[in-house]
Amino acid sequence: MKKILVIGSMNLDFVTSVPHMPRVGETVLAQGLELVPGGKGANQAYAIGRLGGRAAMLGCLGQDSFGDRLLENLGKAGVDTRGVERRGEASTSMAVIGVDPQGDNSILVLPGANGLVDRAMVDRHLDLLEGCDILAMQLEIPLDTVAYAAKKAKELGKTVVLDPAPAVPDLPEELYPCLDLIKPNETELSILTGRPFSLETLGDSARLLRQRGARNVLVTLGAEGSYLLEEDGRETRIPGDKTVQAVDTTAAGDSYLAGVCVALSQGKDLPQAAALASAVASLVVTRRGAQTSIPDREEAQALLQQLDP
């Protein structure tokens, strides 16, 4: 099985329930508070491990109890954490997450140690990049680091996968040609392309990212499933499960990306990978929390059998 390196963020999430998302100037009374391991990068590495993949993590934590907790949790999933540095000049990153009755969320991130993941750190752990087959990244660490690592990985012949979250409208032009797969959701696709999102124009927006250099584009559509545009021009719609009652969508996108990476590491093609990822995400949204919502190995095995019944 191929090895997957995740370069990205690591947070401790403070999760609370809200009756609705606050409007500008509005005070909303929340209920309950849970502290759960999170961060898009850590979520993806943890999920890869839980799904039976070979995962390594490159990221940064503070020298505090929050960092201890995050590192311990990754170890439980079998993630190689040699690339996780503990630094004294910043605290472990935190996120405050409000979840409404529909399971939708709003997230505020305090970057902390995530902002210390720089080019020099990538170079210090170049052995991890050289030893992996697939590189997965997100945008909760400095954008310059993402572009640098993607270029390095492409020079080494690695498969590069990007989850462009949180999305920015001005991704470096030189980043797109390094991407074997970019996986935005509807909102992120709109931000990246500068076009309003609609199902009718979905293909045109995806083709714009292809024109910029990304080889394959996979757009997640929530309950509507996902859309795949491959480098040969083939388009595939992967249906979602509209019967799922969402409780918390916090880690849905991260788990989806993990499912894609694990399937690719096992030799599946992109449509098969997207189908597995949809199954994983549909299970994750029925549970609260980020890493606490990710299926265990037994559940993952049942999901994998959907591809190989």
Quickly list DSSP for 62-123: ESSHHHHHHHHHHHHTT-EEEEEEEESSSPPEEEEEEE-TTS-EEEEEE-GGGGG--HHHHH
- Please, what is the Cα angle at 220 between 111 and 48, to 5 degrees? 60
Task: Give the bridge partners for 151, in sequence order.
Answer: none
User: Distance between CA 125 and CA 84 in Å, rounded?
Assistant: 9
Binding annotation for substrate: 11-13, 39-43, 140, 254
Residue in 80, 163, 180, 254 annotated catalytic: 254
* Catalytic (active site) residue 254: yes
Task: Give the bridge partners for 11, in sequence order.
Answer: 38, 93
Token couple for 91: 């605290």
Return the number of other C-beta atoms located less than 10 Å from residue 283's C-beta.
20
- Please, what is the Cα angle at 149 between 124 and 116, to 5 degrees? 60
301: helix, coil or strand? helix
Binding annotation: 11-13, 39-43, 140, 185, 220-225, 248, 250, 253-254, 284, 287, 289, 293
Binding annotation for K(+): 248, 250, 284, 287, 289, 293
Pairing state of beta strands 181-182 and 159-162?
parallel
Please identify every residue annotated as catalytic.
254
